[in-house]
Structure 1
Amino acid sequence: MSVTSSPAAAEHSPALSLGQVLLCSALIVTLSMGIRHGFGLWLQPITMERGWSRETFSFAIALQNLCWGLAGPFAGMLADRSGALRVLMGSAVLYAIGLAGMALASTVLVFTLSTGVLIGIAQAGCTYAIVYGVIARNVPAARRSWAMGLTAAAGSFGQFLMVPVSNWLISNVGWQESLVLLGGAALLIVPLAFGLREPARPAALAGHHSQPIGEAVREAFGYRSFQLLMAGYFVCGFQVVFIGVHMPSYLKDHGLSPTVATTALALIGLFNVFGTYAAGVLGQRLAKKHILSAIYALRSVAIVTFLLLPLTPTSVYVFSAVMGLLWLSTVPPTNAAVAQIFGVQHMSMLGGFVFLAHQIGSFLGVWLGGRLYDSTGSYDVVWWLAVALGVFAALINLPVRESAIRRPVPVAA
Structure 2
Amino acid sequence: MTVYKMPPVKALFVLAVAFLLLLFNGGSRFTIGLTLKPMADDLVWSRTTLSLTVTVFMVVSAVVLPVIGRLADRYNPKLILIFALLVSSASIALMGLIQTPFQAILLYGVIFALSNAGTSVAPIGVLISRWFPNRLGLANSIAISGMGVGQLVIILLLTAQLDVIGWRGAFILLAGLGFVLVVPLMFLGVPPTLQQQTDQGVSRGVDDSRGGVSTAVCTRVFWILIVIYAVCGGQDFFVATHVVAFASDQGLTSSMAGNLFAVMGLFGLFGVLATGFLTDRYGPVLPTLVCFAVRIVVFTLVMLMPTPTTIILFALCYGITFWITAPLTVVFVQQYFGRADLGVLSGIIIMTHQAAGGAGAYLGGAVYDAFGDYHHVFVWMVVLSVVAFWFTWQLRRKETIEAL
TM-score normalised per structure 2: 0.90
Q: Is the 8 A contact 1:28 1:126 kept in 2?
A: yes
What does residue 408 of structure 1 align with? none
- Quickly say closer, same or farther: Cα 1:72–1:11, change in 2 above 3 A: farther
Q: How does 1:161-240 map to 2 (within 5 A)?
A: 161-199=153-191, 201-202=193-194, 203-206=196-199, 216-240=212-236
Q: Of 81, 88, 105, which residue of structure 1 is paired with 2:81?
A: 88
For 1:139, the equivalent position in structure 2 comes to: 132
Alignment of 1:397 onto 2:392: yes
Indicate conservation of the 8 Å contact 1:267/1:317, yes or no: no
Q: 1:113 aligns with which of 106, 111, 115?
A: 106
Aligned partner of 1:254 in structure 2 is 250
Letter in 2 for 1:54: R
Residue 268 of structure 2 is aligned to residue 272 of structure 1 = yes
- Written as runs of structure 1 = structure 2, the 5 A alignment for 1:14-93 is 14=6, 17-93=10-86
Is 1:376 aligned with 2:377?
no
The 10-residue stretch of structure 1 (385-394 or 33-42) with the greater mean CA deviation from structure 2: 33-42
1:187 corresponds to which letter in structure 2? F
* Count of residue pairs brought into register by the alignment: 392
| 1:154 to 2:154 alignment | no
Offset at residue 208 of structure 1 (A): 7.6
Deviation (angstroms), 1:207: 8.1
Which ranges of structure 2 fall in alignment gaps of 5 or more residues? none
Q: Of 305, 310, 316, which aligns to 1:309?
A: 305
Deviation at 1:193, TM superposition (A): 2.6
Q: 1:192 to 1:349 in 2, by over 3 A?
A: farther
The aligned amino acid for 2:374 is Y
* Aligned AA (1:117): V
Name the CA shift for 1:190/1:275 in 2 (closer, same or farther; >3 Å).
same
CA distance in 2, matches of 1:343, 1:47: 46
* Kept in 2: contact 1:83–1:197 (CA 8 A): no
CA deviation after TM superposition for structure 1 residue 228, in Å: 0.9
Query: For the residues of structure 1 that align with 2:73 and 2:183, how far apart are their CA atoms?
Result: 20
Give, in whole Å, the separation in 2 of the partners of 1:344 and 1:15: 22
* C-alpha separation in 2, matches of 1:274 and 1:70: 30
Relative to total residues, which structure has the larger helix share, 1 or 2?
A: 2
Residue 294 of structure 1, aligned match among 280, 284, 290:
290
Give the RMSD, CA atoms, in angstroms.
Answer: 2.5
Once residues 191 and 285 of structure 2 are traced to their aligned partners in structure 1, the CA distance between those partners, rounded to angstroms, is 33
Counterparts of 1:392 and 1:147, CA distance in 2? 29
1:134 Cα offset (Å): 0.8
Which moves more between the two structures, 394-403 or 226-235? 394-403
Q: Residue type matched to 2:180 in 1?
A: L
Instruction: Normalising by structure 1, report the TM-score.
Output: 0.88
16-25 vs 191-200, which moves further: 191-200
Aligned residue type for 1:162: I
Q: CA deviation at 1:214?
A: 13
8 Å contact kept, 2:275–2:287: yes
Query: Structure 1 vs Structure 2: percent identity of aligned residues?
Result: 27
Structure 1, unmatched stretches of 5+, are 1-9, 406-413
Instruction: Go from structure 1 to structure 2 and tell me whether the alpha carbon gap of 1:221 and 1:15 turns closer, same or farther (over 3 Å shift).
Output: farther
Alpha-carbon displacement from aligned partner over 1:254-300 (angstroms, at most 9, x marks no partner):
22211221122122101111100001110011132232122112112
Deviations 1:301-346 (A, max 9, x none): 111112323512x333222221111111112233212122222232
Moved segments of 4+, more than 4 Å: 206-209, 211-215
Q: 1-side partners of 2:191 and 2:294: how far apart? A: 42
CA contact (8 A) 2:55 2:359 kept: yes
8 Å contact kept, 2:292–2:388: yes
Counterpart AA for 1:22: L
Deviation sequence 1:221-248 (CA, Å, 0-9, x none): 1122121112101111111111111111
Structure 1 residue 51 displacement after superposition? 1.4
Instruction: Verify: 1:282 aligned to 2:274, yes or no.
Output: no
| CA shift for structure 1 position 206 | 4.8
